[in-house]
Amino acid sequence: MSEAPAPPGNDALEEIVLSVADAEWRKIARFIAIVVDAAKAQGLAPSGQDVAQRIYALVEAGRLEARGNIRRWRAAEVRGLQADSDD
């Protein structure tokens, strides 16, 4: 089964996701809330699911780090890539 088409404005949303990601591990649910707030400040209105889809794609592409099952927003964590991994 193929993925649904990406929502409009994906490039801008991806930039926001990556700009918010830092060295701190955050629960996916919290990270999504931060991204949605940052997007709203820039005049975008993504849903939580839109943001989650970008996170999944960025983790798969190796542009974000994750630990745990990323589909379980309240259990898994995500952060930006680190030059030296010091968990």
Per-domain residue ranges for the chain?
A: 10-80
* Pairing, β 26-27 against β 77-80: antiparallel
pTM of the entire predicted model: 0.82
Give the CATH number of domain 10-80; options: 1.10.287, 1.10.3470, 1.10.10, 1.10.357: 1.10.10
pLDDT value at position 82? 81
pLDDT in tens, 25-71: 999 999 999 999 999 999 999 999 999 999 999 999 999 999 999 99
Residue 25 CB neighbour total at 10 angstroms:
15
Residue 72, phi-psi category: left (phi > 0), alpha (psi -120 to 50), beta (remainder): beta
pLDDT value at position 83? 63
> What is d(CA 79, CA 40) in angstroms, rounded to the nearest whole number?
21
Inter-residue contact 55 to 18 (CB < 8 Å): no
